[in-house]
Structure 1
Amino acid sequence: MNVQTVMANHRLQHQLAAQYVLGTLRGGARRRFESWLQTEAGLRHLVRQWESHLLPMAEIAPAVAPSPQVWEHIRQRIGLEQVKQEVTPDRWRFWRDLRQDLAFWRGLGLVSTAAVMILLSVLLSTLEREPTGPVSGHYVATLTDDKAQAIALITGDKQRGELVVRMVSAQTIRPDQSLELWSISKEGKVHSLGLIASAGQATLRMPDHMRTQEQAVLAISLEPKGGSSNPEKPSGPILFKGQWLLI
């Protein structure tokens, strides 16, 4: 694979950029991609896009407890067993403290959590297929709050006419309230896409206007039970929003 092949394939560019940010692009492939970043401004832009989607999600990913095998592999890689008898136990206090350091293991878990989420929700469906024509209608939006924390990941398939909403962080709302998803076109037209759950995952129909008009932003508002009475205007505050991007 050369840079000319990559730059002629929009979907492949996104796949490589996403894998680069996730850290799953390794070895020679990673070094080759980094060399292309030096000369291709388009690739650098895609990397920044994927960083903006993935990094906020990593900030709120739940801590993952490491398995005993993880610690054992660390011991083997640093040769701890070989020098164990040559030092006093206190010399290894740092490693014992590290083992109990929740922040360290939280950071270790963030990478795998974000990787699994994105690979399953965005990339996995395209990795095994070679594009046969123009880029098809696959979209993604990461909706964040006013603190730039990722709350929801939304993917869209234009061919299937589906929107999949995944709440990365569960929200607490009152029984008399609902969360409503909205699209905002580049011309400023606002449309309700339907009510969504405060936790978990839901699949919505992609309305016709999203197939024929370019959307700029998706947003979630807090509404009275049942949603806004006006399908073209939220009645409650906008809680989360994010750009609607073609991938």
Structure 2
Amino acid sequence: MNLLRHPDLLDQIAASYALGTLRGGARRRFEGMARENPGVRSRALLWQETFAAFTELQPGLLPSPQVWQRIENMLPALRRPVAAAAAASATATATDLLQGLRRALGLWRGAALVGGLAAVAAVVVGVRLDQQLGQREVALAQAKEQGTQLTAQLAAQPRIEYVAVLQDDKQAGSVLVTFDPAKRALTLKRVGDYQEGTDKSLELWALPPGQAPRSLGLMGQGAAVARLTAAEGDVAPSPALAITLEPKGGAPAGGGPTGPIVFKGALLKTDT
């Protein structure tokens, strides 16, 4: 089966492979397909990158001044139950005295006593409701704050629309390239142990059809991940990307590549 003709199935298998739930013969067959097919390999690497991002430690977040202010505003409501509890204790003692008086004065005062007890019960219930409402307001404030933080984190996540796996002739090393046009974010990640010399630089090129190669930027010296900025018009029209080995600092401005191609591969548009 040609998995590239079934992108949904390919994504499910690639995600299972990245999570480690694809096992046995199915895993070996998928690895074989990934070695032979750049499109399958790019989806596997892309899902590995996606899940790896979830494991990164997030920085600690302190409550905002608005949250502390809301808590301070709620403190008077939280103190009321303490005073109410003392009042309820005194009321209970008064209730015992009333019961003694009822036995002494007769049943005709029973109705008044029942009314007093009902009033005490209403006070206790009201105090408990106030306490519960205060706790709920604090919880709602915290949930709203967490929702705002989550929305900001989701908005910061890249929307990858283009991906490429650039390989050398021996397939010993490769570079995974992803591109988010909305954020103009071009990300390159080395896979393998290839290292350029200290007097050399790796330069990324777009290869538009019928035009000269267009430089997209340099990878940092020995950096595992490089982040470049590029417009969609500089990347999307190119069916392929290449990385050349240039003198330190890159090829002369305005000119084409001067060094050999060390990595090259097709640029594919994802279905996202």
Question: So what's the TM-score if we normalise by structure 2?
Answer: 0.46
More helix by share: 2
Q: Which has the larger radius of gyration?
A: 2
- Higher relative contact order, structure no. (Cα contacts within 8 Å, ≥ 6 residues apart): 1
More strand by share: 1
